[in-house]
Structure 1
Amino acid sequence: MSDARNPSVTGAAPYDALLLLSFGGPEGPEDVVPFLENVTRGRGIPKERLQEVGKHYFLFGGVSPINGQNRELLAALREDFAGHGLDLPVYWGNRNWAPYLVDTLREIAADGHRRIAVLATSAYAGYSGCRQYRENLADALAALAAEGLPRPRVDMLRHFYNHPGFVEPMIDATVAALGRLPEETRAGARLAFTTHSIPDTMAETSGAPDDPARGRPGGAYVAQHLDVARLVAAAVAERTGVADRPWELVYQSRSGAPHVPWLEPDICDHLEAQHADDAPAVVMVPIGFVSDHMEVKYDLDTEAVAKAAELGLPVARAATVGADPRFTAAVRELVLERAAAERGEPVTRRALGTLGPSHDVCAAACCPNPRAPRPAAAER
């Protein structure tokens, strides 16, 4: 059996490059409104409203941490690949800010690469975290074709939410966060696993079709997060010797119209409920995020921490995975795993929890566009 962790056995063929695909963010005050215009394009939101929404960015000098964190991950991936004898160039492109995806694909094509593995910086199934990126890839490839440029083939790597290289750093980070609480609160501290809230309807239609008779997907976004939360909670209980520590999956960063139902409870509402229930402390564990970008730095480190201080409730926030060496090793493993599968070789696909490894190729019904159907790359 091929070993996806040993490049000398498998190699990356047929892939000749890896694309790190992310959201993007402003890198100065003058970038904030144009960036938000990119994010909300087609929704008719006035510039005055965007300036109000952008106040979170202005609190941090108009700079989102995400681009800097992606540069760190890019460097870490290149170092990991080189250190393990994997000769695979790594590129980076964004949905909403420079380096824009279409520009990166032009560079990839100009460099002669024709078969690209794509890692999106989103671990879970869902429209915004998966299908929309595949729509972005389809748009960018169409732009290349219109310009008469070669169109590389792009393949998305599978969702990595339950890969050991993603889960194990979160376990360590949660234990470390517990250690930062006042000593007298640690044993009774509760865990709040946080992720981005999305509309209920989008959550209900997330993932691969689970019943051919229904002909539509459903429920993967919440199910995947719950599986990871259970894994982390169980490992933390074992590490700390505190069994039955209360935990809950909660949400943050809601941005939709008030009349549209989104996943709840919100983290700040949750903290109020925990305080009312006499919780001694809470550790916030952002399992839905790969890095400490703006929605972590503001919604948790600023807004939720302020709410906890108002309540007199001790809180700590676990670090995200970022460029942890175990995660960069996991990305290498995912590339080699997928390469072996494309060559028709048997391969071990590592995954923790009850759901098993995610699919390699998305079905056309996966995570449908909530507004209207659009072409998407990397689907069957």
Structure 2
Amino acid sequence: MTSPLSGYDAVLLLSFGGPERQEDVVPFLRTVTRGRDIPDERLEVVGGHYRLFGGRSPINDQNRALLAALRTELDARGLDVPVVWGNRNWAPYLADVLADLAADGARRVLAVATSAYPSYSGCRQYLEDIARHCPPGLRVDKVMPFALDDGFVTANLDAVRTARADLVAAGHPDPYVLFVTHSVPVSMARTSGPAGSPEREGHPGGAYVSVLERVAERILTGLGTGGGARPDHGIAYCSRSGPAAVPWLEPDVNDALRTLADRGVGAVVVAPIGFVSDHMEVVYDLDVEAAATARELGLAMRRAATAGTHPAFVAGLVDRLSATAADPVACPTGCCPPPVRPGQPGRSAER
């Protein structure tokens, strides 16, 4: 029987990248902000988040784990195709990985990015990177955003269920669920998704917010299966950056926690469903900043796990790879156009 991936010479796990040690932090941030003329002293402010973790971003180890899990799942299905890893902003750099693949004779590669939602930074920018660095004679097809795939939803549902059960066991019978994703400029959110699509034109947040709401709704439906009551819930955002005059998606997660405390909510699950794994935005913005806010407010908080290497998520990615190999779908013209970028430093959107 022909393998569903037989037309490809390799699968590429494509990600943002992050520093591995203290001396990498500022050079990494220079790469992220290339062309914006941001002085090192301003980059060091953002670099302070990495300094708290020894200068090492969690994203690279998370990608190594996902790479190994994909290899295991492919082997279990008898899919003998190499799996490689490349980053936008740090080693292993995408340009080097593609050059090595071409030098080894690869002619067609299937890429999946560590970003589940439609937006410029989460999808279109990866396509631009591929086009910029792809050697002559090599074709790279990219898997489209996969947030609504069953495996991703199942992984997040299990994580929310576990976090809620932990709070219930600690004496909090009805924890609130606060779904969180990375904030983006409102202008970017509104133009996310294909031009002319109902999700973009008929929704004030475009496809980025619309898909997030649909993922949250499916998780809430899952929590209510078996006669259980759907929990009270909401959506918040983290990692806002850039000048104050530029509107970004709100509310910030810390502001949302303060509002919940004012309402008398006693316990909350913070569910980072906008992230594939424990990026810096999760381990700093949620595990450090939001957790400190919750403690200050007297809120019992549990942070739900990200999809990471959950078996359903990994299996779903391989399903998506196989489906894309059978019918590659190109991103339509006008989908997720690039934003106008002010020359400001920001948190590194590890997506």
TM norm structure 1: 0.85
Shift of 1:89: 0.7
> Match for residue 344 of structure 2?
none
Cα distance in 1 for partners of 2:190, 2:61 equals 33
Query: How much has 1:364 moved relative to structure 2?
Result: 1.8
Distance 2:310 2:197 in 1: 37
Q: Do structure 1's residue 104 and structure 2's residue 90 form an aligned pair?
A: no
Q: Distance in 2 between matches of 1:289 and 1:215?
A: 25
* Contact 1:209-1:216 within 8 A present in 2 as well: no
Contact residue 168 and residue 175 of structure 2 kept, 8 A: no
**Matched residues, percent identical?**
52
Q: Structure 2: how far apart are the matches of 1:128 and 1:236?
A: 31
Residue 371 (structure 1) aligns with:
340
Give the drift of 1:186: 3.7
Aligned to 1:288: 274
**2:114 counterpart of 1:127:** no
* DSSP-derived class of the 1:315 partner: strand
* Secondary structure at 2:225 match in 1: helix
**Cα distance in structure 2, aligned partners of 1:184 and 1:99:** 43
CA RMSD of aligned residues (A): 2.0
Q: CA contact under 8 A between 1:163 and 1:330: conserved in structure 2?
A: yes
Q: By how many angstroms is 1:84 displaced?
A: 1.1
Encode CA deviations 1:51-106: one digit per residue, 9 max, x unaligned. Answer: 11110000000000000110111111111111210011111000000000000001
In the TM superposition, residue 185 of structure 1 has moved relative to its aligned partner by 4.9
Residue from 152, 170, 173 that aligns with 2:138 = 152
Between the aligned partners of 1:23 and 1:211, the Cα distance in structure 2 is 28
Equivalents in 2 of 1:130, 1:184: separation in Å? Answer: 40
2:44 is aligned with 1:32? no
1:232 is matched with 219
- Looking at structure 1, the residues matched to 92 and 3 of structure 2 have their Cα atoms a distance apart, in angstroms, of 31
| C-alpha deviation, 1:366, in angstroms | 0.6
| 2:193 is the alignment partner of 1:207 | yes
C-alpha change, 1:184 and 1:60, in structure 2 (3 Å) is closer
Q: Which ranges of structure 1 fall in alignment gaps of 5 or more residues?
A: 1-7, 145-149, 343-359, 373-380
After TM superposition, what 4+ stretches of structure 1 lie above 4 angstroms from structure 2? 214-218
- Residue in 1 that maps onto 2:298: 312
User: Aligned partner of 1:13: which letter?
Assistant: S
Query: In the aligned structure 1, how far is the partner of 2:111 from the partner of 2:43?
Result: 31
Confirm whether residue 170 of structure 1 aligns to residue 139 of structure 2: no
Aligned-partner residue type, residue 235 of structure 1: G
Q: Tell me, yes or no, if the aligned pair for 1:191 and 1:247 is still in contact at 8 Å.
A: yes
Q: 1:188 Cα deviation (Å)?
A: 2.0
Give the Cα separation in 1 of the matches to 2:144 and 2:72: 22
Structure 1: distance between partners of 2:16 and 2:270: 23
Distance 1:216 1:166, change over 3 A: closer
The 3 A distance-change label for structure 1 pair 211 and 60 is closer
* Cα distance, 1:244–1:327 mapped onto 2, change above 3 Å: closer
1:322-345 deviation digits (Å, cap 9, x = unpaired): 112222211211121122225xxx
Question: Within 5 Å, which residues of 2 pair with 1:238-257?
Answer: 238=225, 241-257=227-243
- Counterpart residue type for residue 180 of structure 1: D
Deviation at 1:184, TM superposition (A): 6.3
What is the rounded CA distance, in whole Å, between the counterparts of 2:56 and 2:165 in structure 1?
A: 30
Question: Aligned AA for 2:107?
Answer: R
- CA apart distance, 1:110: 1.5
Q: CA contact under 8 A between 1:188 and 1:279: conserved in structure 2?
A: no
Per-residue deviation, 1:182: 5.2
Q: 1:92 to 1:284 in 2, by over 3 A?
A: same
Q: What SS class does the counterpart of residue 79 from structure 2 fall into? A: coil
SS at match of 1:180: helix
Normalising by the residue count of structure 2, what TM-score does the alignment of the two structures yield?
0.92
* Partner SS, residue 167 of structure 2: coil
What is the Cα deviation at residue 211 of structure 1? 5.2
Aligned to 1:117: 110
Give the aligned residue type for 2:234. E
In 1, the alpha carbon distance for the partners of 2:289 and 2:223 equals 26
Q: Quick one: distance in 2 between partners of 1:272 and 1:367? A: 33
Q: Which runs of 5+ in 2 are unaligned?
A: 342-351
Q: Which residue of 2 aligns with 1:377?
A: none
Whether the 8 Å contact between 2:294 and 2:301 is mirrored in structure 1 is: yes
Residue in 1 that maps onto 2:182? 196
Task: Give the 3-state SS of the residue equivalent to 1:369 in structure 2.
Answer: coil
